[in-house]
């Protein structure tokens, strides 16, 4: 009986150890894979790639990017009804790619490598100190650093404070 008890204790100890290891691994993973933006805690929203197009844009110079700015249903309704400020729940997603000359059609430029995904989330209470908007800038699905996120609000405030801090206009 004594030997059997020892074996049982050994098995129990092993199980506890295994459980602890799993828990610690999960914790560590959770910290490493924090996919929320600094300051704002904004994540890339599920299903954003299927949202409607608000407008395309082009950024010349160093960026040399083509962009597609998409909006969720709340944002699109606000655009179509010309509702300003945007209501809580509106989310905008700016997808950017390096602009490359088409190899198939002279004079045409097409998206190359994906560069950033940038998200704006409207929550007038949570983000009251930044005009009601939370910002997130992501490269390969990971948020960029805090310093970059410190520039979002100031820039939007400086350039488009009369359009609820939103650059992109809806085009038919």
Residues that bind a copy of itself (CB under 8 A): 49-53, 55-61, 63, 66-68, 70, 76, 95, 97, 99, 102, 104-105, 107-111, 114, 159-160, 167-169, 171-172
Q: Give me the least distance between CB of 112 and a copy of itself, in Å please.
A: 9
* Cα–Cα distance for residue pair 110/83, rounded to 1 Å: 32
Backbone angles phi, psi at 61, to 5 degrees: 65, -145
* Cα–Cα distance for residue pair 80/82, rounded to 1 Å: 5
Which residue, 31 or 162, is less far from a copy of itself as judged by CB?
162
User: Do residues 107 and 153 touch, judged by C-beta distance below 8 A?
Assistant: no
Which residue, 38 or 75, is less far from a copy of itself as judged by CB?
75
* Cα–Cα distance for residue pair 96/144, rounded to 1 Å: 15
Q: Give me the least distance between CB of 8 and a copy of itself, in Å please.
A: 52
Q: Strand, helix or coil at 22?
A: helix
Q: Give me the least distance between CB of 49 and a copy of itself, in Å please.
A: 7
* Cα–Cα distance for residue pair 37/52, rounded to 1 Å: 23
Which residue, 57 or 83, is less far from a copy of itself as judged by CB?
57
Q: Give me the least distance between CB of 151 and a copy of itself, in Å please.
A: 13
Which residue, 49 or 142, is less far from a copy of itself as judged by CB?
49
Q: CA 44: distance to chain centroid?
A: 3
In Å, the largest CA–CA distance within the chain is 85
Which residue, 3 or 106, is less far from a copy of itself as judged by CB?
106
Q: Give me the least distance between CB of 88 and a copy of itself, in Å please.
A: 22
């Amino acid at each position: 009986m004594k030997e059997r008890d020892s074996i049982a204790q050994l098995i129990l100890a092993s199980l506890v150890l295994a459980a602890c290891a799993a828990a610690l691994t999960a914790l560590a993973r959770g910290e490493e894979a924090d996919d929320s933006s600094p300051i704002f805690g904004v994540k890339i929203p599920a299903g954003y790639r299927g949202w409607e197009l608000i407008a395309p844009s082009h950024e010349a110079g160093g960026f040399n990017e083509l962009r597609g700015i998409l909006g969720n249903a709340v944002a699109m309704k606000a655009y179509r009804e010309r509702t300003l400020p945007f209501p809580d729940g509106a989310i905008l997603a700016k997808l950017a790619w390096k602009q490359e000359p088409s190899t198939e059609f002279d004079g045409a430029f097409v998206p190359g490598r994906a560069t950033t995904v940038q998200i704006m989330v409207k929550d007038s209470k949570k983000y009251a100190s930044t005009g009601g908007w939370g910002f997130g800038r992501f490269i390969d699905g990971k948020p960029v650093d805090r310093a970059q996120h410190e520039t979002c609000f100031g820039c939007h405030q400086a350039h488009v404070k009369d359009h609820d801090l939103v650059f992109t206009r809806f085009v038919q």
